[in-house]
Amino acid sequence: MEQITREELVRKIEAAREKLNQSINERKEYDEILKNSVYLDSLIEQYIVAGY
């Protein structure tokens, strides 16, 4: 897995959180909300594993 900087990872987490919130607020299909949630979880996991 490619190592990315803490700042880049935080930006990705913030963008993914916004996308998830938007999909919830717009009442998108369950599958899309789930996909966004899983992606955000994977970014948070990367952050934790990296020890930031």
Nearest-angstrom CA–CA distance, 10 and 12:
5
pLDDT in tens, 21-35: 999 999 999 999 999
Nearest-angstrom CA–CA distance, 38 and 44:
10
Structure token digits, residue 26? 């717009």
Structure token digits, residue 4? 């990315």
End-to-end CA distance of the chain: 16
Q: Is the pLDDT of residue 1 over 90?
A: no
As to burial, measured by CB atoms within 10 angstroms (0-12 exposed, 13-18 middle, 19+ buried), residue 49 is exposed
| Arithmetic mean of pLDDT over the chain | 95
